């Protein structure tokens, strides 16, 4: 925005702050907000705070995605597309389920101008191995309690420990800092990249995790670092050291004894993590193998 004032800015999600900030900062721009959840309430708020934030009411408006695609097909193109896929209101879902931003960006591909600025421009899927004894213990499979079979609730509760053979352990959203005792067992690795400068497509990646300490590994923690600009000067991390977001936790069926290469033990020294993202479902498949 410092180099060139965009003529048309679009906010693809429910971020009131982004809409107000753009309307205030980009005086010569027209700001459109989709507000898929807020809708009319969001429009009323933007009108109510216009004077206090130094922009005219006709400077910003709210449209639906279908209206935007129709109205822009033969008119000016979008110069700036922004969103907050890391928005706190989405903290009850797995990190990659916030990739709706990528889907919306792809739907708007035909009405983006050449060289349009997209923020964030990409997401980096990060992971590390962790010791999570309290979380793992609380998510063991239920069997018979006081003579009653409780196994039917295992899938609902996301049971991971002691699963029957052939049953896959799920990846669940947790704030790691709220999960009791925790300890990083490896360095952080980047598994794959979601490139928002291109339209949404299936993608996959693989990384090797090297263990840095001796102990029990209870699972892998995954999250997305959101890269705002192509120079990567601004990166917003949603990892386990942050308290505002939840991470995806892939608990193991049974804890695994691990150790660094410097240790003289026969424990596992590394593990391969492989992931694949399916845009049609929004699911991320996570596979791992201890080496």
129 and 233 part of one domain: yes
The predicted model gives 147-159 an average pLDDT of 77
Chain segment 11-35, per-residue pLDDT in tens: 999 999 999 999 999 888 899 999 9
Q: Quote the mean pLDDT of the chain.
A: 90
Task: At 52, give phi and psi (nearest 5°).
Answer: -65, -25
Please tell me whether residues 62 and 80 are part of one structural domain.
yes
**For the domain that residue 226 is a member of, what is the CATH number?**
2.70.160.11
163 in the same domain as 270: yes
Q: Give the predicted TM-score (pTM) of the model.
A: 0.91
Give pLDDT tens digits for 35-83.
998 989 999 999 999 999 999 888 899 999 988 888 765 578 999 999 9
Looking at the chain, the whole-number percentage of residues with pLDDT higher than 70 is 95
- Please give the pLDDT value at position 173: 94
Residues 220 and 109 in one domain: no
Residue 2 lies in a domain: no
For residue 147, what pLDDT is reported? 77
- Kindly write down the DSSP assignment for every residue of the chain, as one continuous string: --S---SEEEE-SS-HHHHHHHHHH-TTSEEEE--TTTTHHHHHHHHHTTGGGT--GGGEEE--HHHHHHHHTTSPPEEEEE--TT-GGGTTS-GGGGTHHHHHHHHTGGGEEEEEEEES-EEEEEEEEEE-HHHHHHTBPP-EETTEE-GGGHHHHT--BTPPTTPPPPEEEE-GGGSSS-EE-B--EEEEEEETTS----EEEEEEEEB-S-EEEEEEEEEEEEE-STT---EEE-STT-SSS-EEEEEEEEEEEE--TTS-S-SB-EEEEEEEEETTTTEEEEEEEE-
Range of the domain at 81: 8-121
Query: How many domains does the structure of the chain reveal?
Result: 2
In the listed set 88, 121, 154, which residue is the last one of a domain according to the structure?
121
pLDDT for 284 equals 97
């Amino acid at each position: 925005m410092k180099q060139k004032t965009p003529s048309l800015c679009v906010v693809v999600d429910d971020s009131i702050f982004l809409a107000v900030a753009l309307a205030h900062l980009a005086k010569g721009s027209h700001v459109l907000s989709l507000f898929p959840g807020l809708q009319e309430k969001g429009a009323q708020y933007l009108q109510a705070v216009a004077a206090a934030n130094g922009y005219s009411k006709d400077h910003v408006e709210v449209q639906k995605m279908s209206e935007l695609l129709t109205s822009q097909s033969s008119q000016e193109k979008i110069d700036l597309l922004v969103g907050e896929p890391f928005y706190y209101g989405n903290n009850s879902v797995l990190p990659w389920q916030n990739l709706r931003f990528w889907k919306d960006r792809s739907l708007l591909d035909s009405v983006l101008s050449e060289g349009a600025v997209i923020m964030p421009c990409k997401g980096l899927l990060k992971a590390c191995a962790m010791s999570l004894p309290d979380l793992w213990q609380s998510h063991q499979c239920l069997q018979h309690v006081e003579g009653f079979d409780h196994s039917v609730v295992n899938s609902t509760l996301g049971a991971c420990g002691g699963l029957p053979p052939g049953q896959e352990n799920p990846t669940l959203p947790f704030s790691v800092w709220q999960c009791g005792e925790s300890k990083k067992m490896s360095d952080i690795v980047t598994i794959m990249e979601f490139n928002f400068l291109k339209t949404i497509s299936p993608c996959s990646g693989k990384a090797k995790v090297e263990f840095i300490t001796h102990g029990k590994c209870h699972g892998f923690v995954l999250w997305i670092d959101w890269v705002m600009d192509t120079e990567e000067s601004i990166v917003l991390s949603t990892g386990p050291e942050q308290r505002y977001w939840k991470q995806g936790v892939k608990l193991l069926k049974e804890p695994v004894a691990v150790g660094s290469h410097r240790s003289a033990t026969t424990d596992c020294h590394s593990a391969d993590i492989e992931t694949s993202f399916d845009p049609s479902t929004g699911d991320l498949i996570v596979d791992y193998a201890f080496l």
